[in-house]
Amino acid sequence: MSTFNAESTTNDVIQGISLSGKVAVVTGASSGLGVETVRILAGAGATVLMLARNKDKLQGVAQDLREANPGASIDTEIVDLADLDSVRRAAAAIVDKYPAIDILINNAGVMACPLARTAQGFEMQFGTNHLGHFLFACLLVPALTNSARVISLSSGGHKFGRMDFDDPNYQQRNYEKWSAYGQSKTANALFAIGLDDRLKSRGVRALAVHPGVIMTELSRHMAKEDFDLLSARLPEGQEMTLKSVEQGAATSVWAATSPALAGEGGVYLEDCHIAQAATPEGEGGVESYALDHADADRLWVLSEELVGQVFTF
């Protein structure tokens, strides 16, 4: 299916692809993978709407990208995914301004932060990484074209925790930042399945992406012992491999644009290919619980309950 691999870059995977006339929406677009994703999509001709919560930072990055590519069509919108009121305001403004969206990349996220709560009281990682994006994507569905792709950035970190449907927001159990991160990344993968199941009949496909391990602002809460812990979880004899930002964003761009993925959905991608099942010996792969359609449906119902809105597509 793919001639690309872990070392492929965004420039590699976009080669020969024109996005002229397409509209792409990217969250978490003011740093790291988000900036690179916007750069490549805009460079291929798409109109790209960049979203982030810090207005000054977002507009500064957008201006830098426009100066680097004067022909680029780049717009900005503010959203705080940790506040569902902000999500609703942003989604309404976007659908009004962009009634036809071809690519949605749910790229924003927080990782391994101390226990904190969103504006509505959800555990910060589950609330931001999953619930904010769940509501945002569902509110944009009316604008998604009949060949649109929705990309959810999951992570190999989904291996650190499956969904706890009884206590997703750590109201009863003790908080552990890596288990919480793992739960949120499992939720991202399950959301791709749930959304794909509901929208594929109209031509919209949803996919989950593991970008790899990249040193970006996402890791700002990590100390040396956290990297030691991650290394210790690798199979014996393996070392943690870091990707460049260009390599890390490649799978998102490939997922959003590759003709090779036409007709694919509800799958988990890594290193620019569809991931195999995880094995005890392997570094990559996807756990079966992150691909469980029954759990995806259960998460969907829970998410609707938590955001206070039922979606019928």
181 tagged catalytic = yes
Marked catalytic residue, from 98, 181, 268, 289: 181
> Which residues in 72-96 are b (16+ Cβ under 10 Å) and which e?
bebebbebbbbbbebbbebbeebbe
Distance CA 249, CA 242 (A): 13
Burial 31-57 (b: 16+ CB within 10 A, else e): bbbbbbbbbbbbbbbbbbbbbbbeeee
Cβ atoms of 77 and 93 closer than 8 Å: yes
Give the catalytic positions in this structure. Answer: 181
